[in-house]
Amino acid sequence: MYNDKRVIVVMPAYEAERTLRMTYEGVMSHGIVDLVIVVDDASNDDTIAIAKTLPHTLVHRHENNRGYGGNQKTCYRLALDEGGDIVIMVHPDYQYTPKLIPAMASMIGCGLYDCVLGSRILGGYALKGGMPLWRYVSNRFLTLVENVLTGAKLSEYHTGYRAFSRRLLEQVPLDRDSDDFIFDNQMLLQIIWLGYTISEVSCPTSYSPEASSINFARSMEYGLGCLYTALRYRLARTGILGCRLFPRELMRAHDGE
């Protein structure tokens, strides 16, 4: 609990047997996490068996692989069903340090923000942590274009370390988003569309052999998807072209709060 709010950490897992327990121990070391939810996306290793041995953990398995976005949709649905007031996504590959959980939870628990990101760019940790140069350059380029098209000022849109308030998760139309990697980007742009302010904290990362990553071809597909989503956002914001990802009725509902 933090400030009488139930804190739930969700882990979208796929073949994470080597790092799941270490990540879990880091998550639970702070004493504020009430529940961990592990959603296994039809792994072929012992991820599900290890997850079932962890205390204070709800384990859910997809019988068929639904993709990174599809996994997250299940994570957030289960977190809301379990009464989560503060929901933090942590990758079970230990690429993002769990040590930031108290800071991220406090920013939401005190009512300052409804979304907090762990940024690899703030503080210059990306390259120091082993991010490949080509990935860093593409991250910076995509972020620049997306900031221009959305009017936001984020240091990066592509981190997988995220914390949300319950009221935000209940408003974002996640069912309209992709089940693939572009889900992360679509969700963030929907949050901006709804008028929420996104906060960032500097996050060191570790690109170890166990860290999950997509190859160059998939990265190109993801990058083009990010640009396309940002363009659709701009066209919808200016009223030139409607988009189901960014429904105007939800924008008006939040603006009227």
Identify whether 222 is part of a domain: yes
> How many percent of the chain have pLDDT more than 70?
94
Identify whether 141 is part of a domain: yes
CATH number at residue 125: 3.90.550.10
Identify whether 200 is part of a domain: yes
- The total of other beta-carbon atoms located within 10 Å of residue 148's CB is 11
Identify whether 1 is part of a domain: no
Identify whether 2 is part of a domain: no
Identify whether 129 is part of a domain: yes
Phi, psi of 40 (to 5 degrees): -90, 125
Give the chain's domain count: 1
Residue 256 has pLDDT above 50, yes or no: no
Identify whether 223 is part of a domain: yes
Identify whether 71 is part of a domain: yes
Report the candidate in 170, 222, 210, 219 with the shortest Cα–Cα distance to residue 191: 170
pLDDT in tens, 127-181: 877 788 888 899 999 999 999 999 999 999 999 999 999 999 999 999 999 999 9
Q: ∠ at Cα 78 (99, 3), nearest 5°?
A: 50
Provide the domain limits for residue 216: 7-255
The predicted model scores a pTM of 0.93
Residue 26 has pLDDT above 60, yes or no: yes
Alpha-carbon torsion angle 94, 78, 65, 11, nearest 10: 0
